[in-house]
């Protein structure tokens, strides 16, 4: 049966509408892709601009000069040298507003505090090594104690028995002596008290008996107390050293700046060398 002219036109319209809809979808997809591409481009431009601005800022920022000398010993030695040199030339060259006697006293204090600091650091290292050693011995003794307790009491309620001896559950329910040294002091007291109970057979065993545990406890507690004392002394030393260092450094800088201000460049350089400055700047 032949299609009528009307049906032909209707089909043509439908086909045209379908093509138009497809074209619109393609246009929409292209617009989305264009928007996404533009957003990515804008982001890259912003990123590049920020990087360039940061690079420019770093290039234009003035470089900070390191304080010279940096070390306490170097500064104290220089200050002492300056005080002596300026006292010897007090009749020909004087730096106003500088108390040379006070400078020398502060320089000596700085050197003394630095020596104390080095001594405390060395003492702390020795103490730390000794404390680590006694803790290693305690851990080995705990391992033996657990073996002995299992042999005496079996595995029934063994966790409770471990707790009664001051041991605590750690990873994977493994009982051990707590690692924190302050807490370890308390747990060692618990363990010793348990060993001292009447009838405890471990008291008189050949190895790791009560006397052995008391020895470990006394050594640990003494070393831990020493560690705490050294930490307090070190803190006090640092708090004393800082203001003395700042005062000596400020005075040395004042001398350096005055020489450069009061004398021509060539004479200033020679004078600074004469006074004890070994570097071009301070």
Do 248 and 106 touch, CB atoms closer than 8 A? yes
Which pLDDT value is given to residue 199?
92
Question: Do residue 26 and residue 90 come from a single domain?
Answer: no
DSSP category for residue 187: H
The stretch 118-126 carries a mean pLDDT of 95
Q: Which residues pair with 169 in a beta bridge?
A: 175
pLDDT of 26 above 60: no
Residue 23: both structure tokens together: 């074209």
Which pLDDT value is given to residue 43?
66
Do 252 and 107 touch, CB atoms closer than 8 A? no
For residue 175, give the H/E element and its range.
strand 175-176
pLDDT of 110 above 90: yes
How far apart are the C-alpha atoms of 25 and 33, rounded to whole Å? 12
**4 domain residue, yes or no:** no
**40 domain residue, yes or no:** yes
Domains identified in the chain, total number: 2
Average pLDDT, the chain: 83
Which pLDDT value is given to residue 85?
87
**72 domain residue, yes or no:** no
Q: What is the pLDDT of residues 168-207, one digit of tens each?
A: 998 777 899 999 999 999 999 999 999 999 999 999 988 8
**191 domain residue, yes or no:** yes
Tell me the CATH number at 120.
Answer: 1.20.920
Please tell me the pTM assigned to this model: 0.66
**220 domain residue, yes or no:** yes
The stretch 33-59 carries a mean pLDDT of 61
How far apart are the C-alpha atoms of 262 and 268, rounded to whole Å? 8
Residue 72: both structure tokens together: 């306490």
Question: Do residue 25 and residue 104 come from a single domain?
Answer: no
Residues 6+ apart with CB under 8 A from 138: 177, 184, 188, 216, 220
Question: Do residue 86 and residue 194 come from a single domain?
Answer: yes
Q: Identify the residue whose tokens are 């650091």.
A: 121
**83 domain residue, yes or no:** yes
Question: Do residue 29 and residue 136 come from a single domain?
Answer: no
Question: Do residue 172 and residue 34 come from a single domain?
Answer: no
Question: Do residue 23 and residue 87 come from a single domain?
Answer: no
Question: Do residue 37 and residue 100 come from a single domain?
Answer: no
**121 domain residue, yes or no:** yes
State the CB neighbour count (10 A cutoff) for residue 105. Answer: 15
Question: Do residue 39 and residue 96 come from a single domain?
Answer: no
pLDDT of 67 above 50: no
Question: Do residue 155 and residue 230 come from a single domain?
Answer: yes
Phi and psi dihedrals of 205, rounded to 5? Answer: -70, 155
Question: Do residue 43 and residue 157 come from a single domain?
Answer: no
Question: Do residue 99 and residue 39 come from a single domain?
Answer: no
How far apart are the C-alpha atoms of 123 and 127, rounded to whole Å? 6
Question: Do residue 161 and residue 262 come from a single domain?
Answer: yes
How far apart are the C-alpha atoms of 34 and 250, rounded to whole Å? 63
Strand pairing of 168-169 and 175-176? antiparallel
- The boundaries of the domain holding residue 33 are 12-47
Q: What is the pLDDT of residues 199-233, one digit of tens each?
A: 999 999 888 899 999 999 999 999 999 999 999 99
């Amino acid at each position: 049966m032949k299609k009528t002219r009307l049906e032909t036109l209707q089909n043509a319209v439908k086909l045209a509408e379908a093509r138009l809809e497809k074209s619109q979808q393609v246009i929409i997809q292209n617009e989305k892709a264009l928007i996404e591409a533009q957003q990515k481009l804008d982001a890259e431009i912003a990123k590049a601009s920020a990087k360039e601005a940061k690079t420019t800022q770093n290039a234009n920022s003035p470089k900070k000069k390191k304080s010279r000398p940096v070390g306490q010993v170097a500064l104290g030695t220089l200050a002492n040298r300056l005080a002596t040199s300026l006292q010897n030339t007090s009749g020909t060259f004087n730096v106003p507003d500088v108390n040379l006697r006070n400078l020398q006293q502060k320089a000596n204090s700085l050197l003394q505090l630095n020596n104390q600091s080095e001594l405390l650091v060395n003492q702390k290292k020795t103490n730390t090594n000794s404390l680590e050693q006694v803790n290693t011995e305690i851990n080995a003794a705990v391992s033996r104690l657990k073996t002995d307790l299992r042999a005496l009491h079996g595995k029934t309620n063994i966790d409770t028995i471990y707790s009664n001896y001051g041991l605590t559950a750690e990873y994977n329910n493994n009982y051990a002596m707590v690692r924190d040294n302050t807490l370890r002091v308390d747990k060692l007291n618990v363990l010793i008290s348990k060993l001292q109970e009447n009838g405890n057979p471990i008291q008189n065993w050949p190895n790791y008996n009560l006397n052995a545990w008391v020895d470990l406890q006394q050594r640990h507690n003494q070393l831990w107390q020493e560690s705490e004392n050294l930490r307090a002394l070190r803190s006090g030393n640092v708090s004393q050293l800082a203001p003395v260092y700042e005062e000596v450094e400020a005075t040395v800088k004042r001398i350096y700046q005055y020489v450069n201000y009061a004398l021509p460049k060539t004479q200033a350089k020679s004078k600074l060398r004469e006074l004890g400055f070994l570097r071009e700047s301070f």
